[in-house]
Amino acid sequence: MHLTPSACPAKSLGPAPRAPCIGRFAPSPTGPLHFGSLVAALGSCLEARHQGGQWLLRIEDVDAPRTIPGATDAILHQLEALGFCWDGEVVYQSQRLALYQQALDQLIASRKAFPCACTRRELADSTLAPDGSRRYPGTCRDGLRPEQQARAWRLRTEPGLITWEDAIQGVQQEDVFRDVGDFVLLRADGQYAYQLAVVVDDALQGVTHVVRGADLLGSTARQIFLHKALGLAVPAYTHLPVATNAAGEKLSKQTLAQAVDTQAPVSSLYMALCFLGQHPPADLAQASLPDIWAWSHTNWSQIKVPRAKALIAPAQMLHNSAI
Ligand code: GLU
């Protein structure tokens, strides 16, 4: 791929210059921001700023059927009302399809991607991957029969442990070939897969630090594998605890998570700081928006974030009024 200098620094003699930190927040416009997405936005922003870096905003609207009309505007409005400031223009995945196709073409040309004719029903009996999806049994790896038609394109995985150190969740390991199998790059419905889009975008935007919810921990090995298959630099990964309801279910549209209230931005930020283990002083809950941001920038410490995959969100954040 044609890389930006920061995504793939040229080899030079002597110690490599330290890449500037670039973080990002990458919400999918499937609904307005809820407390869980606020936690990811805040944690990724404060860590990038703490490292003196940039913080980018990318709207992950590559999955057209899941995109809800009006959700992008709602998210941008909420982020602004909460006092978030991102660097540069907002990037929309729906405007970057040519880049995903270019990456897919590169993988096809190097025989790392192959066409797959399997239907969902044909894969229904294969074992479950850790994220609940079906492990691909390799049916079409060696080519399609003449009468078969390609439905999807998959990445050819290889056995071997992918090991990385997550800044909060510790050392992680996964054998993508064994646990997930050859995963989808272009879906049967013609949509580019999230895994492909996120890897291309993180690399081409020069993202060095991915900070996001631990619900995506199970995607990380696949993303590292894909970064390497495309010859792209692998970012550092940090997975924050996911916010759940009292039943332990991740806040989401499916679990009827409430939108973050833009009328009370300070109290929402205050609760997100508490959730992230920052122990803000009690009087900060009544502070002005600039003051709570100033406190956050001065006091942010990633080391204080609880080393948990999930935590229950404060009750007020489950039942506030809609925006
Ligand atoms: N778009 C994904 C989501 O909203 C996040 C992707 C990521 O941070 O890598 O869940």
| Start-to-end CA span in the chain (Å) | 41
C-beta separation of 157 from 106 below 8 A:
no
Tell whether 34 and 181 lie within a shared domain: no
Q: CB within 8 A of 289, min separation 6: which ones? A: 82, 83, 265, 266, 269
Element spanning 92, H or E: strand 91-92
Tell whether 257 and 183 lie within a shared domain: no
Whether 6 is in a domain gets the answer no
Whether 17 is in a domain gets the answer no
* Residues with active-site annotation: 253
Q: How much distance in Å is there from the Cα of 26 to the middle of ligand 1?
A: 5
Find out whether the beta carbon of 216 lies less than 6 Å from any atom of ligand 1. Answer: yes
DSSP type of residue 253: T
Tell whether 206 and 296 lie within a shared domain: yes
Tell whether 184 and 250 lie within a shared domain: no
Find out whether the beta carbon of 60 lies less than 6 Å from any atom of ligand 1. Answer: yes
The CATH number given to whatever domain includes residue 133 is 3.90.800.10
Report DSSP letters for 138-163, one per residue: -TTTT---TT----EEEE---SSEEE
Give the nearest ligand 1 atom to 27 CA. 4
Q: How much distance in Å is there from the Cα of 283 to the middle of ligand 1?
A: 33
Task: Please state, in angstroms and rounded to a whole number, the distance separating the CA atoms of residues 101 and 144.
Answer: 21
So what's the pLDDT on residue 130? 78
Task: Please state, in angstroms and rounded to a whole number, the distance separating the CA atoms of residues 139 and 145.
Answer: 11
The CATH number given to whatever domain includes residue 225 is 3.40.50.620
Nearest C-alpha neighbor of 217 from the set 255, 254, 247, 179: 179
Give me 221's structure tokens.
């090995």
Tell whether 81 and 229 lie within a shared domain: yes
The residue behind tokens 């941001």 is 293
Tell whether 301 and 207 lie within a shared domain: yes
Q: How much distance in Å is there from the Cα of 143 to the middle of ligand 1?
A: 32
Give the nearest ligand 1 atom to 198 CA. 9
Q: How much distance in Å is there from the Cα of 150 to the middle of ligand 1?
A: 28
Instruction: State whether residue 56 is helix, strand or coil.
Output: strand
Tell whether 68 and 90 lie within a shared domain: yes
Q: How much distance in Å is there from the Cα of 124 to the middle of ligand 1?
A: 26
| Mutation pick for ligand 1 pocket among 34, 57, 60, 131 (CB with most ligand atoms within 8 Å) | 60
Give the nearest ligand 1 atom to 212 CA. 8
Find out whether the beta carbon of 26 lies less than 6 Å from any atom of ligand 1. Answer: yes
Residue 113 domain boundaries: 100-162+175-191
Task: Please state, in angstroms and rounded to a whole number, the distance separating the CA atoms of residues 269 and 281.
Answer: 13
Find out whether the beta carbon of 28 lies less than 6 Å from any atom of ligand 1. Answer: yes
Task: Please state, in angstroms and rounded to a whole number, the distance separating the CA atoms of residues 242 and 213.
Answer: 5
- Residue whose CA is closest, atom 7 of ligand 1? 26
Whether 10 is in a domain gets the answer no
Element spanning 40, H or E: helix 35-50
Tell whether 228 and 256 lie within a shared domain: yes
Whether 2 is in a domain gets the answer no
Task: Please state, in angstroms and rounded to a whole number, the distance separating the CA atoms of residues 19 and 80.
Answer: 28
Whether 212 is in a domain gets the answer yes
Residues of the chain with pLDDT under 70: 1-19, 319-323
Tell whether 185 and 275 lie within a shared domain: no
So what's the pLDDT on residue 317? 84
Tell whether 183 and 136 lie within a shared domain: yes
C-beta separation of 293 from 83 below 8 A:
yes
Tell whether 222 and 247 lie within a shared domain: yes
Find out whether the beta carbon of 212 lies less than 6 Å from any atom of ligand 1. Answer: yes
Whether 74 is in a domain gets the answer yes
Give the nearest ligand 1 atom to 219 CA. 9
Instruction: State whether residue 93 is helix, strand or coil.
Output: helix
Whether 323 is in a domain gets the answer no
Tell whether 146 and 268 lie within a shared domain: no
Q: How much distance in Å is there from the Cα of 27 to the middle of ligand 1?
A: 5
So what's the pLDDT on residue 7? 29
Find out whether the beta carbon of 27 lies less than 6 Å from any atom of ligand 1. Answer: yes
Say whether pTM exceeds 0.85. Answer: yes
Our count of domains for the chain comes to 2
Find out whether the beta carbon of 198 lies less than 6 Å from any atom of ligand 1. Answer: yes
Whether 144 is in a domain gets the answer yes
